[in-house]
Amino acid sequence: MLYSDSGLAIDPAIQSCELEACLELGRLDGSVAMCPPTVRQLLALRSLRNLLVSALAGEGHEFTEHRFHAWFAGLATLSDEPALGKRDPRAICETILTELGHSSWHELADIAPRFKRALLAPAAPCGLGGRSGTDHIDIRKIIDGAHGLVNQLPPSPHPLADLRQVHVSLGESLLFAPAEPHYQTVLLGPRNVTVERHAPPPRWAVEMVWGERWQRSGNLSVALPFPGLIRADAVNTITSIDPSDWCAARGMIAMALRDVTHRLRQSIVDAGAACKRIEALQADRRASSRAPALLELLDGFGALRSSQIEILLDATRLGVRAILSGLLDSGIVARIKLSGVWLFGTTLSMRQLYPVSCNASGGFAFSPAAIGEYDESMADIDRLLARYEHGAADTD
């Protein structure tokens, strides 16, 4: 059912997108409500990981998923780039995990404190963009601001009308509206170059708490986080006096809801398939084995080191070593060494974090997809250097 607003005629394509978005939301709620406990647990793990990644990216940090897990395990920095002007990523994750511990979604509330204890990433050194002491306070204020903004919205029976209103409120908010650009001098080779920086508004916080609103209103049975739900371009145009801008913003909001709910539904499908694989593997093991719990962690969240697994499973070092040994021998778990420490990842997932294959010596061989991604990244760097060299030649 479409919602009416301002009496303007809506493009049929936008109407169609809105209908698809509402249909996807209904399907998502049905899928979540019908989830077996094991699938919902795996969904909670994936939702937690995706929210942390989305929040860090929303704060301006640039990294790959591989780098995120290495950083979370305390084996690398999150990025090779200096974190000038960015909040400490550890402070961001710690504060989010504390907040998720109070979620009405009990599976998420249960695992968040355990992952906070398993967060081994170092705090950013003071003076390099991390102000570890004050960043926790800043992130707490952002999350509280998101709760305040969402809670002050008037009740709305229609999810798209609700989203339209939150986009309007974000544009009027001092905390979440687009910030003015600032200029920063960076060293590029032998030259000092002034670049324009745009501090990204922390809209990830609204996406994190939005599911609580829809759970209370009856649109969802579970308070799912919704990374990607808020469209910056829609925030910028939703209050435009130009009817075409207003209609375009309405279409953007519908597309965001449609795409996010579709991804969440696909995550449920993938989680269900993974649970079936884990259950099938358990048939050949003793009933008391903790291997399924470990596979659930690795498939849901991603690669972990053994000391993190000890915390998350509340197991001894010898116990974790015994579980991993059997899973490694069977090929269900693979490992890679970083900074002298092994990171373990499952091979069960349909969407593997480390797309690798075993070579004849039992080690790792990167897949064609991974090599292609690396080559593409190197090509981007080459193009950037070429532009810089061309510009330098013009000024010499």
Q: Which range, of 70-74, 218-222, 288-292, averages the lowest pLDDT? A: 288-292
The better pLDDT of the pair 180, 174 is held by 174
Least confident span in 73-77, 109-113, 123-127, 352-356: 352-356
pLDDT score of 289 = 76
Mean pLDDT check: name the lowest of 3-17, 129-143, 381-395: 381-395
Q: What is the mean pLDDT of the chain?
A: 83
180: burial class by Cβ within 10 Å (0-12, 13-18, 19+)? exposed
Confidence (pLDDT) at 180: 58
Lowest mean pLDDT among 15-19, 78-82, 145-149, 369-373: 369-373
Give which of 351, 354, 332, 350 is closest to 280, Cα–Cα. 332
Q: Give yes or no for residue 126 having a pLDDT over 70.
A: no
Q: pLDDT confidence of 312, banded at 50, 70, 90?
A: very high
Distances (CA, A) of 287 to 122, 267, 273, 300, 347: 38, 27, 21, 22, 22
Q: Tell whether the model's pLDDT for residue 181 goes beyond 50.
A: yes
Give the pLDDT of residue 377. Answer: 53
- pLDDT band for position 225 (50/70/90)? very high
pLDDT of residue 81: 78
In this prediction the pTM is 0.81
